Structure 1
């Protein structure tokens, strides 16, 4: 079948809630239940493109799901040309704005469209885009939220053993800065100097707090310090980046490639992290990664390990892939991590297929 013959029939969007094995406990709040929207792009030719969205709050699904279904109605009969669909979907939401729910919904559509496009060509997505199937260096983000130092140390060892990881992310932002230091020291003592530690404040500090706390951990040999302040305070990030020796990481909250350009123009960070649901799916990633690549800035990923892994195989300055498996119970064949590398399966598209028995159980 020629990929040029794919035609949009409809978009299915199913909201699901999963109980997290390790609840998210961050400076800015706690999450025990994880919302996931399963997106299916149905074509007249029978090929189904699949993606999923993880919008953090359960209530947000009430707004995103109708947008996706409306996009399916609007695009019905259109050729599955992902870039064209991306542009048409964004333009249809122009009066609402290009960020927030608009970009999240369009990103879900875009990832599903690229999956269908690659399936029609009978190629893995990364091969379809000119790359090759292979391993991607990953760190584990499945835990190490705000907890007692001894508990963090024990959990760090568990996380390493989940896939032979050589990198872990620890969250900081406890009430007392000294408790953050204790947790860092406990985790480092448990995993050794050979493991890369990334520290994430989850936007929980103001600039004054960030200057104090980041300076306190600046000599701890961290791979990076991530999002100490609100993501859109680019002037504040530029101040921090100039002040710190440790690389400053941001970008998971960028809505579209232009935000990458703005951050780099302001010298607001040393590293860029892309989130597939906010940056614009595959299409947005291609544009954002080109901007980062031209500047020589390393690119890492934020959740969405399947699509992100394919994109890292074609990203010029690919750095670290963030691994999480919260959605794995819904997948027929979850990706595997071994010796600290995620291994992309040699199958058409992204390899995302639903375990419908599990899906129906969650739908209740």
Structure 2
């Protein structure tokens, strides 16, 4: 069958405020650098074409930045109108240049990520394939671990209870937050969870709040607990410090979630500043850039564990040549009509075309602003 030309007809952008049931605190709150998180600002892009195809994608911001992402996306989206939606790489470059005065990372990439993801969703749905199959998957399920139950605002008894529930629900590993000003309390919490879950996979995340000396001292102590990884022990941009920890400690080092460009990740990878790269598709510009990162990480022999946004990252992690982890967060569940399945420690790639998600009525109710371009 001959290819039928198609063109982007409309792009609908929506700013959605997702409220959290309780204020969430990680180490950045206890060190006084941030306030507790009460909501997640979501940016959704819904694309339609002249041939009747459609796609949906999203980006997000925790704490500040949501309104700015929405505003930037509104400014650049018109550049995609009339273009062939199949030319995703071309469109990524065009959109990036449309907003180039604010750079090629950070806000600029996070705003266009929602459009980029929507284009992949559209193209995979047009092919009637799940996104993972469309991209070329290596597996139909991915190891998964839970983070949302391990924040520092929860008591250790609450963390243990939630860990048990996660494991009972078929989630394979548990991650808890550390990085408190009192390192002894960190160790008490980690030891308590390790004892509680036995030999189940356990990860810790310091959210960038240790200095180099503390990270080394804590890392050496944590080496005795058989952790899967220590996440963000240092400032996200401290490549040299992360490289030193990676060489010194037995426990693997994981980082990268805060980086918002391929160039920033390349510096991390070239320096072998981690054992596990944690890219975030909405932060680096969408799937176009994420797939570039997968190639770089694979060539360097590194593992990956994408950050947040499991609805997107499950498909992308399934495309990596070696086994990966995907982060289970139930925060976004109210936004979608569908649910991802976990079983025997793994998250199952859905058989629905594209990302396999549709916006719920609740998501529409939480929409604070929307605009259709085209």
**TM-score where L is the length of structure 2:** 0.91
Q: Quick one: distance in 2 between partners of 1:4 and 1:259?
A: 39
**Where do 4+ consecutive residues of structure 1 move more than 4 Å?**
1-4
Aligned equivalent of 1:35: 41
Deviation digits for residues 129-184 of structure 1, max 9, x if unmatched?
Answer: 233772121111122111433332223212323x2222011100122111111111
Equivalent pair of 1:4/1:79 in contact (CA under 8 Å):
no
Higher mean C-alpha displacement, 99-108 vs 258-267: 258-267
Q: Which of 75, 84, 90 is equivalent to 1:70?
A: 75
Q: CA 1:285–1:169 in 2, change beyond 3 Å: closer, same or farther?
A: same
* Matching of residues 283-362 of structure 1 within 5 Å: 283-355=288-360, 357-362=361-366
In structure 2, the partner of 1:12 is 12
Distance 1:2 1:179 in 2: 65
What residue number does 2:205 align with? Answer: 200
Match of 1:126 among 107, 128, 132: 132
Match of residue 149 from structure 1: 156
CA distance in 1, matches of 2:11, 2:2: 21
The aligned length equals 360
The answer to whether the 8 A contact 1:133-1:346 is kept is: no
* Number of the residue aligned with 1:90: 96
State the alpha-carbon separation in 1 of the partners of residues 185 and 117 from structure 2: 40
Mark the CA change 1:72 to 1:178 in structure 2 (over 3 Å): closer, same or farther: same
Quote the offset at 1:52 in angstroms: 1.7
2:367 and 2:193 mapped to 1: Cα distance? Answer: 38
8 Å Cα contact 1:15/1:37 also seen in 2: yes
CA distance, structure 2, for counterparts of residue 36 and residue 333 of structure 1:
17
Whole-angstrom CA distance in 2 between matches of 1:76 and 1:318: 38
Counterparts of 1:94-109 in structure 2, within 5 Å, are 94-109=100-115
Where do 5+ consecutive residues of structure 1 fail to align?
none
In structure 2, C-alpha distance between the alignment counterparts of 1:348 and 1:295, rounded to whole Å: 32
2:277 to 266, 272, 292: 272
Closer, same or farther in 2 for the Cα pair 1:179/1:347, shift >3 Å? same
Which residue of the partner structure matches residue 186 of structure 1?
192
Greater Cα shift, 127-136 or 6-15: 127-136
Shift of 1:2: 7.5
What's 2:33 paired with?
A: none
Q: Deviations over 1:103-132 (max 9, x none)?
A: 101211111111111111222212222337
Quick one: distance in 2 between partners of 1:135 and 1:83?
A: 27
Q: State the partner residue of 1:363.
A: 367
RMSD: 1.9
SS in 2 for 1:302: coil
Residue 260 of structure 1 corresponds to 265
Higher RCO, Cα 8 Å, sep 6+: 2
Which residue in 2 is equivalent to 1:232?
237
Q: Is the 8 A contact 1:11 1:68 kept in 2?
A: no
Q: TM-score, normalised by structure 1?
A: 0.93
Does the 8 Å contact 2:27/2:209 carry over to 1?
A: yes
Q: How far 1:42 sits from its partner (Å)?
A: 2.5
Return 5+ residue gaps in structure 2 as ranges. Answer: 30-35, 369-374
List per-residue Cα deviations over 1:199-232 (Å, max 9, x = no partner): 1001112222222222221211100000011101
The answer as to whether partners of 1:135 and 1:344 remain within 8 angstroms in 2 is yes
Instruction: Report if the CA contact (8 A) 1:11-1:69 is conserved.
Output: no
| Matched residue, 1:282 | 287
CA distance in 1, matches of 2:65, 2:2: 37
